[in-house]
Amino acid sequence: MITRTIKITETVLRDAQQSLIATRMPIEDMIPILEEMDEAGYEAVECWGGATFDSCLRYLNEDPWERLRIFRKKFKKTKLLMLLRGQSLLGYRHYADDVVDAFVKQFILNGIDIIRIFDALNDVRNIESCLKACKKYGGHAQLAIAYTVSPIHTVDYFTELATKLAKMGADSLCIKDMAGIMTPDVAYKLVSNIKSAVNLPLEVHTHATAGISKMTYLKALEAGADMIDTAISPFSGGTSQPATESMVLGMSGLGFKTDLNMDRLNEIAIYFKKIRSKYHENGLLKLKMLYTDPRALTYQVPGGMLSNLLSQLTQQGLEGKFDTVLNEVPNVRMDLGYPPLVTPLSQMVGTQALMNVLTGQRYQLVSSEIKNYLLGKYGQAVAPIDEDLRQSIIGDEAVIRGRPADLLEAELPRLTEEIADYAKNIEDVLDYALFPQIARDFLGRREDRFYDIPIQEIEVII
C-alpha cells in the first residue's frame, strides 16, 4: 500500500464561496472560525484574490486589504494562498508593469505566502512581470496551467507548458482545472508526465461540477501529485471542490496520509453549516449550483462563472435562458480559438454567448472586451481564430503580436493624481487602478465602515 503524505489547501474562504454564492460571504461570517481553521493542519488556505477583491468593493462594502490583514492576524500557522490573473492582476484588463510590481509588493507585505499565478490564455509572457515581482518581494510563486479541452490542448501541450513554467523559475506548479473537466485518465497521464519532466511540487485543483472530481484527484495522487484543493463539506460539491473531510477519510484507507485533524474539521464543518443555512434563506445559494451536471464536460464553464451567470439572468427575469446560453458557450469558444474558460475569458465568452442568445443573431452585438481579445490585447490564442469573424468585428485594425503589456506606459503616477482627493495610501491607489468607478464610490463611503481591526497606514513609495 502507498504511504505518502498529501498536503491540502482549503478553499472555503475563496473559491468554494465564489463558486456557490458568487463571492458574497462577508468577513464577519469568516472571523469566528479562522483560529479553529489555523489549528486544523491545512498546508494553506486559499483566502484572497480571484473575485474576492472585486466583490469586497462592489458588493460587500469591505476593504479587501483589511480583510487580508485580518486573515494574517488570525492564521499564525497556516500559509495564505491567493489567486492572481497574471498581467490582469485581479481585474479584467492588462495593467502596466509598475502597477503589477506595486500590487504584488503590497499583498506580500500584508501577509500572502503563496501566489498562484495563471494566464487565461496560458501565454507565459503574461506572467513574467508577476513572477519577477514575487521573487523580488519574497513570495512563493506557484505558476498554474489553465486546463481546458480542445484539439490543441493535449497532454503533450500541457507537459511542455509545465516545463516552460519550471524554467521560468516557478517555486511550485498547479494544474488549475477551473471547470472540473479533467477526466481521471487524463489526470493520471498529465501528472505522470509533468512529474517525470519537472522536479517541482505539483498541486491539482478541480471542481465537482461534472461529478468526476474525486476520481480525478485519486488518479492524480496515484500519479504523484503532492497537493490537492478541497472545500469543507457545507461548501463542497456542485460547482465547488470535493469535500475536505471525505477526501481525507477516503485517502487514508488508500495509504495517503494528511496532517489534518478530523475533530477540528468537524468543528469547522458545524460552523459553516450554520453559515450555509443563511445563504439558503436569502436565496444566494442556488440549487442549480448544487446539482451534478455532466454537461460541464461539454460547455466547460467554471463554477464561479456558472453562479454569476445564473445570478445575472435571474436578476433580469431570464433564468429560463440559462441552459440555452450554456449550449452556445462551446460555439463561441471554438470561434475564438478555444481559449480556456477562466477569468476574464470565461466572463467574456459567457457574455458573448448571452448576447448571441438574447439578440437571436450571433455577434450582432459584441463587447469591447471581445474586440480587444481579437486585437491581441490579452495575448496569443493557441488555436487559430475564425478570420472571417475577426474581420467582421475589427476590420483591418492591426493585431498585436508581442507581449501586450509592452505597449502600456507606466500608470501609477497618473492614477495617483486622478484619485488624490480620495486616496490615503498606495492601497487606495491600487483599488482605483483595478476598478476605477467602483473604488471611487467605495473610498467615498469609507468613513461609514468599521471593523475590529483598524485601517493601517502602510507607507510605500510609488
Output the average pLDDT for the chain. 91
For residue 322, what pLDDT is reported? 87
459 — pLDDT class (breaks 50, 70, 90) = very low
Helices (H), 377-425: 387-394, 412-418
Position of cell 502507498? 2
Is a pLDDT exceeding 70 seen at residue 455? no
* Beta carbons of 244 and 8 less than 8 angstroms apart: yes
Strand 140-146 with 172-176, pairing: parallel
Q: Is the pLDDT of residue 215 over 50?
A: yes
- Whether 451 shows a pLDDT value over 70: the answer reads no
The mean pLDDT value for 70-75 works out to 98
pLDDT greater than 50 at residue 456? no
Better pLDDT: 208 or 282: 208
CA atoms within 13 A on the CB side of 377: 19
Rounded to whole angstroms, the Cα distance separating 183 from 292 reads 15
pLDDT for 332 equals 93
Q: Which phi and psi (to 5°) does residue 123 adopt?
A: -85, 105
CA distance 259 to 9: 11
Q: Residue 356: what pLDDT? A: 93
Q: In this predicted structure, what is the pLDDT of residue 214?
A: 97
Cβ atoms 108, 139 nearer than 8 A: yes
AA identity, residue 285: L
8-23 pLDDT, tens digit each: 999 999 999 999 988 9
Domain boundaries, the chain: 7-282, 287-405
Q: What is the mean pLDDT of residues 290-316?
A: 75
Q: Reduced to 3 states, what is the DSSP secondary structure of residue 240?
A: coil
Per-residue pLDDT at 286 exceeds 70: no
Angle separating helix axes 345-359 and 322-335, nearest 10 degrees: 120
Q: Which of 285, 409, 342 is nearest to 123 (CA)?
A: 342
- Average pLDDT for residues 248-258, to the nearest whole number? 93
Q: Tell me, what amino acid is at 162?
A: A
**Longest Cα separation, the chain:** 64
Check whether 150 has a pLDDT greater than 80: yes
Question: Positive or negative CA dihedral for 366, 368, 370, 375?
Answer: positive
CB 162 within 8 A of CB 197: yes
Q: How confident is the model at residue 387 (pLDDT cuts 50, 70, 90)?
A: confident
User: Per-residue pLDDT averaged across 429-454, rounded?
Assistant: 79
Q: Is 227 helix (H, G, I), strand (E, B) or coil?
A: strand
How big is the chain, counted in residues? 462
Pairing of strands 79-84, 227-230: unpaired
What would the pLDDT profile of 90-119 be if each residue is shown by its tens digit? 998 999 999 999 999 999 999 999 999 999
Give the whole-angstrom CA distance, residue 259 versus residue 268.
16
- Hunting for cell 501609477 — which residue is that? 412
- Topology (CATH) of 7-282: TIM Barrel (3.20.20)
Q: Residue 28 pLDDT more than 70?
A: yes
Outline where 39-144 has alpha helix (H).
Answer: 52-55, 64-74, 97-109, 128-137
Q: Does pLDDT of 304 surpass 80?
A: no
Q: Does the pLDDT value for residue 453 go beyond 50?
A: no
Superfamily of domain 287-405: Conserved carboxylase domain (1.10.472.90)
State how far the alpha carbon of 298 is from the alpha carbons of 288, 311, 327, in Å: 17, 21, 8
362: its cell numbers: 450571433
The confidence score (pLDDT) of residue 319 equals: 87
Is residue 384 very low, low, confident or very high in pLDDT (cuts 50, 70, 90)?
confident
Q: Which residues pair with 146 in a beta bridge?
A: 176
Q: Which helix (H) or strand (E) holds 35?
A: helix 31-38
Coil, strand or helix at 331 = helix
- Alpha-carbon distances of 412 from 416, 420, 432, 434, 441, rounded to whole Å: 6, 12, 10, 11, 19
- E strand or H helix that includes residue 161: helix 155-168
The predicted model gives 422-443 an average pLDDT of: 96
pLDDT score of 288: 56
Give the pLDDT band of residue 273 (cuts 50, 70, 90).
very high
Band (pLDDT 50/70/90 cuts) for residue 313 is confident
Cβ-based neighbours of 262, under 8 Å, separated by 6 or more: 245, 248, 249
Residue 23, judged by CB atoms within 10 A of its CB (0-12, 13-18, 19+), counts as buried
Task: Report the range of poorest mean pLDDT among 230-244, 307-321, 336-350, 382-396.
Answer: 307-321
Question: What is the pairing mode between strands 202-205 and 172-176?
Answer: parallel
Q: Categorize the per-residue pLDDT at 316 as very low, low, confident or very high, splitting at 50, 70 and 90.
A: confident
